[in-house]
Homo-oligomer: A and B are copies of this chain.
């Protein structure tokens, strides 16, 4: 098998991808940050904290890559061994860096910790000949070292530290080294359509992109299809053509480069509206997704997570008779919840979500995955929607939250 002729970037995550499974991981951060800056990651490898395996992976990556980033294993404990692995691979010594040590001490002082554990001195050891990279948010300094004609970056494992160092140190070095970038990338989102439908409706424009030497990838995410486009830098005006085509083809489903929560926030801000949610089966996830956006307090008042019927009654003022007659998962209850959220949440518009996330609680008439939603644009202007989702509890919750947020966005665009 011949190697791919392209020089690309590889990423090795040492252990750490398994640590942080609740947030974005370094694989995702790197692909997005590098991709949007015009650099592609061709290969990601995740290896355990094992020197032999790290060395084997480094060797495999450097066969095809001009740049290798390694995240993780720079901490102070016994199983943080990335420094050692690279020093063995490169046959260079580890030396104590007083600059690095000064910075580590500074981080501890900022955290008001007076005594620094002796173990942290290990973090000040850098590979002979490497440049130390400052870490403004954590204790593990990074480093950059040249190996023949290749660049190797050692970066911290915690995703927020990794992202910071990637954006502020690695990307500028890559841009300088490679004298800018030869291609440019953009992501467009289409909400609430299936992958197959998006593919069929975009045949024509995809062929145009490809005829200019560009690439086109479709990623299906919950309630969202993303188109990842890559074109030669000299052809970047193609993006306008694609954007116009997608807008015309998908209308309100077209999100541009926004996520679903960003789409709602942007419509709310544009129309100077404030929203409030009432959530049952999503348990706070819709609110959580909105509040991942900085500055959302301008247009988001909060969410009443009425998981129990008592809270639906006491706070949202859903009547006992509505709950009894139609059940907690019904369009009628969703309407009452949306009205309550709008009124007591002091909002202009509201969204209510009630459903059965499973695995228990389903019945023949109301199976797991049934989710009822209501949107209130005023006390009278109310719309409802019923969904049948499949999958596990967490994916039903996630699809419900995103479909709900998107439902409110569409309703505002159309009727406000």
Q: Interface residues, chain A, CB within 8 Å of chain B?
A: 1-4, 15, 17-25, 27-28, 31, 42-50, 52-53, 55-57, 59-60, 64, 75-79, 111-112, 117, 119-120, 137-138, 158-160, 163, 195-196, 199, 217-222, 274, 276-277, 279, 281-288, 290-292, 294-297, 300-308, 310-311, 314-315, 344-346, 357-360, 388, 390-395, 397-398
Contacts and interface: CB of A to CB of B under 8 A. Distances in A.
In this complex, the member of A4, A307, A359 whose beta carbon has the largest number of chain B beta carbons within 10 angstroms is: A307
A225 B391 CA distance: 30
A346 B311 contact: yes
Contacts of A160: 391-392, 395
B290 A283 contact: yes
A345 B315 contact: yes
29 contacts: A1-B52, A1-B56, A1-B59, A3-B56, A4-B56, A22-B221, A22-B398, A23-B394, A24-B394, A42-B53, A60-B60, A75-B195, A77-B195, A77-B199, A77-B218, A158-B391, A276-B311, A279-B287, A283-B288, A283-B290, A284-B285, A284-B288, A285-B288, A288-B397, A291-B305, A295-B360, A302-B307, A304-B315, A308-B346
In this complex, the member of A53, A281, A345 whose beta carbon has the largest number of chain B beta carbons within 10 angstroms is: A345
Contacts of A15: 217, 219
Indicate how many identical chains form the complex: 2
Given A307-B301, A311-B301, A21 B28 contact: yes
* A interface majority secondary structure: mixed
A138 B389 CA distance: 12
Contacts of A219: 15, 18-19
Nearest to A18: B31
A227 B223 CA distance: 36
Contacts of A25: 21, 25
The 8 A-B pairs of least Cβ separation, nearest first, read A283-B291, A284-B287, A284-B284, A44-B46, A303-B305, A21-B28, A302-B307, A284-B288
Given A287-B288, A288-B397, A294-B359, 6 more contacts: A20-B221, A22-B221, A24-B394, A282-B288, A300-B307, A302-B306
Nearest to A161: B391
Contacts of A397: 288, 291-292
A249 B314 CA distance: 44
Given A160-B395, A284-B291, A304 B307 contact: no
Contacts of A163: 392
Contacts of A296: 307
Given A19-B220, A119-B196, A311 B345 contact: yes
B305 A302 contact: yes
A310 to B, nearest CB: 4
Contacts of A276: 311
Given A52-B4, A288-B285, A290-B283, A23 B395 contact: yes
Contacts of A277: 305
Contacts of A218: 77, 79
Nearest to A40: B48
Nearest to A219: B19
Contacts of A310: 301, 346
A359 B221 CA distance: 27
Contacts of A285: 284, 287-288, 291
Contacts of A76: 196
A158 B222 CA distance: 10
Contacts of A392: 160, 163
Contact of A314 (B79, B196, B217, B346): B346
A307 B284 contact: no
Nearest to A120: B196
A27 B43 contact: no
B283 A307 contact: no
Contacts of A390: 111, 137-138
A283 to B, nearest CB: 3
